[in-house]
Amino acid sequence: MAALPRLGQFGPNWVNKFFCVLSSFLLLFSTFGLCLLLFRTLCFGCLIIPCSTHQICYWCDFHRIRNSIDLQTSISRDQFERINSVHFADCMKTIEKCLTYAKTNIKEVDDIVLVGGSTRIPKIESLLTKLFKGKQILKTIYPDVAVAHGAVYYAAVLNGDQNVPTAYLNEWKVNERHDGCCGMAVVVPRCSPLPISKEAKNITTVQDNQNEMCLLIYEGDEQSVNRNTKLGELELLGIPPAKCGVPTITLGFDISSDGALTISATESSSGTSNKITIENFKGRFSEEEIEKMINQAAKYKSDDEKHQKNKEAANELIEYATAMKQTINPELSVNAKEEIESEINLAVECMPRELPL
């Protein structure tokens, strides 16, 4: 969920808090590791108790370790919520992020379904109700088995079961980052549902009689090439000679549910085509790396927008200059043609040689 697979694991904080209290006793035992294991089991097993009581007492029975020694401590619901307050806030931020990715307003959410045992914690329920403006939580599905329900539906869909209401199951996996080509145009936006099979916009040549083209494919959230990750390159050879802008090359982008990325390019008039497949495309970055890249993209957003405008202006000038050359009257004298072409070339040469990419 939003690149946070460990979201909702409140047990470790609980264990660390009370292990500090009991550590002075546990150090008395030679079997320190077994004591810790028993205590962890106890804490994780009691996570659901805050749903029905305001204070919990813990009895740690170490009878099997030494002389039937019992240790007792307690925690209140307020203490538990203070210990995990940061993680509760992260849960709400993650939900907001998911809604943003899905381009869905809070008012457009029909029902709220709890998934996972930790969602039974009263603080989680109250924060959800507040976030969704008082909307009641749907509790007809037991939180511990909600994932199993979804897995059964997913398996049925993959198996081709026609009785499954697939209209409600149209997004399963998502792409973690932007994928792009064609002058860094975004082809597959971040968090697009997988699998993906789409044709990108058509592209064309930039020079007269251009017979080959090299397409660079990058992954990232920034418009600057050198701050993104290069995935590979695709060469298309044998483009029929023609005026600049006449050939039409169609790009295809496919990402399987396993994360294999396939890019194809086809020239329409001759049928010339080529494609590459990038395996192990998904899951190559850790959660921290992805978050760092997204934050970095936000940091350079204003600069990237400025660079993008510069590139667009440069491309428009080149296209305009090319069009002007093609409109030169062939009945003009050779000197007149050369003078006009010289002025057009001079306008293009006035552009900075190193436009930021």
Long-range contact set of residues 346-355: C-beta below 8 Å, sequence gap at least 24: 347/317, 347/321, 348/317, 348/318, 348/321, 351/314, 351/317, 355/307, 355/310, 355/311, 355/314
Do both 181 and 155 map to the same domain? no
The tokens for 311 are 């590139």
Do both 110 and 73 map to the same domain? no
Has residue 87 got a pLDDT over 50? Answer: yes
Has residue 176 got a pLDDT over 50? Answer: no
Residue 6 located in a structural domain:
no
| pLDDT confidence tier of residue 341, bands split at 50, 70 and 90 | confident
Please tell me the predicted confidence (pLDDT) of residue 71.
Answer: 58
Cβ pair 274, 237 in contact under 8 A: yes
At 245, which amino acid appears?
Answer: G
Please tell me the predicted confidence (pLDDT) of residue 194.
Answer: 73
| pLDDT confidence tier of residue 274, bands split at 50, 70 and 90 | very high
| pLDDT confidence tier of residue 327, bands split at 50, 70 and 90 | confident
Task: List residues bridging with 265 in a β-sheet.
Answer: 251, 274
Cα–Cα dist 85/123, whole Å: 9
Q: What is the largest CA-CA distance in the chain?
A: 111
- Those residues whose C-beta lies under 8 Å from the C-beta of residue 48, and which sit 6 or more positions away, are 117, 120
Nearest to 4 by CA among 81, 125, 90: 90
Lowest mean pLDDT among 116-120, 182-186, 296-300: 182-186
Do both 131 and 197 map to the same domain? no
Of 152, 168, 184, which one is at a domain's C-terminal end? Answer: 168
Cα–Cα dist 120/251, whole Å: 48
Do both 185 and 230 map to the same domain? yes
Residue 251 located in a structural domain:
yes
| pLDDT confidence tier of residue 42, bands split at 50, 70 and 90 | low
3-state SS, 231-293, equals EEEEEEECCCCCCCCCCCEEEEEEECCCCCEEEEEEECCCCCEEEEEECCCCCCCCHHHHHHH
Report cis status (omega within 30 of 0) of the bond before 195.
Answer: yes
Nearest to 281 by CA among 192, 154, 182, 179: 179
Q: Can you give the residue range of the structural domain that contains 43? A: 11-81
Of 276, 294, 312, which one is at a domain's C-terminal end? Answer: 294
Task: Report the pLDDT averaged over residues 205-223.
Answer: 81
Domain count, the chain: 4
Please tell me the predicted confidence (pLDDT) of residue 231.
Answer: 82
Task: Report the pLDDT averaged over residues 69-73.
Answer: 58
Do both 279 and 199 map to the same domain? yes
Top-confidence residue, 256 or 297? 256
SS3 category, 339:
helix
3-state SS, 59-71, equals EEECCCCCCCCEE
- Those residues whose C-beta lies under 8 Å from the C-beta of residue 190, and which sit 6 or more positions away, are 101, 175, 176, 177, 178, 221
Do both 345 and 319 map to the same domain? yes
Cα–Cα dist 276/261, whole Å: 8
Percent of all residues in the chain with a pLDDT value above 90, rounded to a whole number: 1
Lowest mean pLDDT among 137-141, 190-194, 211-215: 190-194
Residue 4 located in a structural domain:
no
| pLDDT confidence tier of residue 313, bands split at 50, 70 and 90 | confident
pTM value is: 0.46
Cα–Cα dist 32/345, whole Å: 80
Task: Report the pLDDT averaged over residues 75-94.
Answer: 80
**Domain of 213: which CATH number?**
2.60.34.10
Has residue 311 got a pLDDT over 50? Answer: yes
Do both 227 and 281 map to the same domain? yes
Q: For the CA atoms of the chain, what is the radius of gyration?
A: 30
- pLDDT per residue over 124-175, tens digit each? 888 999 999 888 888 888 887 888 887 887 777 777 776 665 444 444 444 4
SS3 category, 164:
coil
